[in-house]
Structure 1
Amino acid sequence: MSEMIFSLPGLAVAIALIAAGAIQGSTGFGFNMLAAPLLAIIDPSFVPGPMLALATIVCIGGALREYADVHRRDLAFSLFGRVIAASLAALCLGLLSPQIFSALFGLSVLAAVVLSLVGLQIQATPKTLFAAGAISGFMGTLTSIGSAPMALVYQNTTGARMRATLNAFFVLGGLLSIIALALVGQFGRSDIVLAAFMTPPAFIGFLLSGYTRNLVDRGHVKTVVLVVSTLSGLTLLWKAFG
């Protein structure tokens, strides 16, 4: 592991984690979308367990920083969906290839972005939050990239509500996914060690988000959500066919 720190791949990992931490702290989502694909190429052992654990750690910082803005009703409905989906996803591991899962999820995310662009209004209601929580939990447990469905539900809300509630959701949801993976033997001590190794650069990026989150708070929530969600969908397709 020490050899990686001082290598070109190690530098690429650090840069990706800093950028991902800044995005997560600014929006409340997007950490694994930016970092997981690159890290999976460098070493497949980085996903899904270590990246889920690391994203959970970073989200704890985001949830604590804006705790007063966490919307508890939103959190309850979305987590209910995630509990069900994470359990199902863990059972589905091995039934289909990761490439098929990534392709299906990527196309679904892009379809949701297109529908939003043509005028579909997605509001944060109990039904949409439950559905988004379930889809996010299923995607995140299988691919480490599951933030887009929840983000799309929040595209018409304020930056603070989106950031705080999504960070809280991914803290609790990430723990649920990790538990589900552990129960089927897909998460252990080595995953914790890798997550700890990646934590310092991720938190450097998170601290930098104190400056970048102003963009989201200036009325650009929907634009940021659609751009990052599009990148998420394309990233999933790239994982499937690249």
Structure 2
Amino acid sequence: MPATLLPELGPWLVCAITVLVGTLVQRLSGAGYGMFAAPVMALVAPEWLPGTVVLVGFVIGAGSLLNARDAVEWRDLPPGFAGRILGAGIAAYIAAAVVGTDALAIIVGFVVLFAVALTVLGLTFPISGGSLFVAGGIGGVMGTLTGIGAPPMAILYSNIEPRRAAATQNAFYGFGAFVAIIALAIAGVLTLPQVAFAVSLAPLVPFALLASRPLAIRFERGAIRPWALGMATISALVLLSRSI
């Protein structure tokens, strides 16, 4: 547990920029915040993981959903939500063993690379109750441990109209972050410094969401995601090189 509530100014500013960029990417594409934010925060403020990433992720998911709730495919949500709850429960047991240890940084690095690989491979699966449940479960485990829970669901929506895909994914992401917060609290690894750090970063989210509105008109999902994947990959490789 960190000795202070907040990191020093330098790491705080790095994390603040990460939240701004990650929020823009998440709002425009429905995925990307966790892949970008988790490895960067693991590098500069590891004692505040995973709670800070997950808490800010909930604010981003909820805010993004409110901005495009008319495009959400509501009938897809129940099976995905059910899977997310199961995945978060499984992750809570794992979190109790790895949070606060060097193993968490290694897990974050490999989960980021796994998530990037899933996205780059361009896998496609039909959207059904079963596939939504499985994607929700895998995302629940990944998201609770690292804050990176969007990629499995993003695969299902890769060929769906961009606005509908982003809105529905943000609904899953916001709910998943909420469930992850509860799971981390039950596991006893959600600390006051993590909450305080998240509270200090959260006001940046509405600013980034507001800035994303004109960008949403000018950028398609495919135009911004390669940049996000590139930044996430570099961050994960640097993190792993320092942790292994």
TM-score calculated relative to the size of structure 1 = 0.83
Question: C-alpha displacement at 1:201, in angstroms?
Answer: 2.0
2:112 maps to 1:109: no
> What is the aligned partner in structure 2 of residue 68 from structure 1?
70
> What is the aligned partner in structure 2 of residue 53 from structure 1?
55
> What is the aligned partner in structure 2 of residue 240 from structure 1?
240
- Higher mean alpha-carbon deviation, 36-45 vs 48-57, is at 36-45
Question: C-alpha displacement at 1:190, in angstroms?
Answer: 2.9
SS at match of 1:190: helix
Whole-angstrom CA distance in 2 between matches of 1:47 and 1:98: 8
Whole-angstrom CA distance in 1 between matches of 2:35 and 2:176: 16
Question: C-alpha displacement at 1:230, in angstroms?
Answer: 6.4
- Higher mean alpha-carbon deviation, 39-48 vs 205-214, is at 39-48
Whole-angstrom CA distance in 2 between matches of 1:214 and 1:167: 18
Identity %: 29
Contact 2:81 2:136 in 1 (8 A): yes
Q: Deviations over 1:68-103 (max 9, x none)?
A: 211122211211111111110111122692255335
Structure 1 segment 12-91 matched on structure 2, within 5 A: 12-91=14-93
2:182 maps to 1:179: yes
Cα distance change, pair 11–221 in 1 and its aligned pair in 2 (3 A): closer
2:147 maps to 1:144: yes
Instruction: Name structure 1 gaps, 5 residues minimum.
Output: none
SS at match of 2:159: coil
- For the aligned residue pairs, the C-alpha RMSD in angstroms reads 2.8
Structure 2 residue corresponding to 1:11, chosen from 10, 13, 16: 13
Question: C-alpha displacement at 1:187, in angstroms?
Answer: 1.1
Whole-angstrom CA distance in 2 between matches of 1:3 and 1:89: 26
TM-score calculated relative to the size of structure 2 = 0.82
Question: C-alpha displacement at 1:134, in angstroms?
Answer: 1.2
Whole-angstrom CA distance in 1 between matches of 2:111 and 2:52: 21
Whole-angstrom CA distance in 2 between matches of 1:110 and 1:65: 26
Whole-angstrom CA distance in 2 between matches of 1:82 and 1:2: 30
Question: C-alpha displacement at 1:9, in angstroms?
Answer: 3.3
Contact 1:62 1:164 in 2 (8 A): yes
Instruction: Name structure 2 gaps, 5 residues minimum.
Output: none
Structure 1 segment 150-165 matched on structure 2, within 5 A: 150-165=153-168
- Higher mean alpha-carbon deviation, 39-48 vs 51-60, is at 39-48
> What is the aligned partner in structure 2 of residue 133 from structure 1?
136
SS at match of 1:13: helix
Letter in 1 for 2:134: A
Contact 1:22 1:207 in 2 (8 A): no
> What is the aligned partner in structure 2 of residue 201 from structure 1?
204
SS at match of 2:31: coil
Letter in 2 for 1:29: A
Cα distance change, pair 99–198 in 1 and its aligned pair in 2 (3 A): closer
Whole-angstrom CA distance in 2 between matches of 1:226 and 1:77: 29
Number of matched pairs? 235
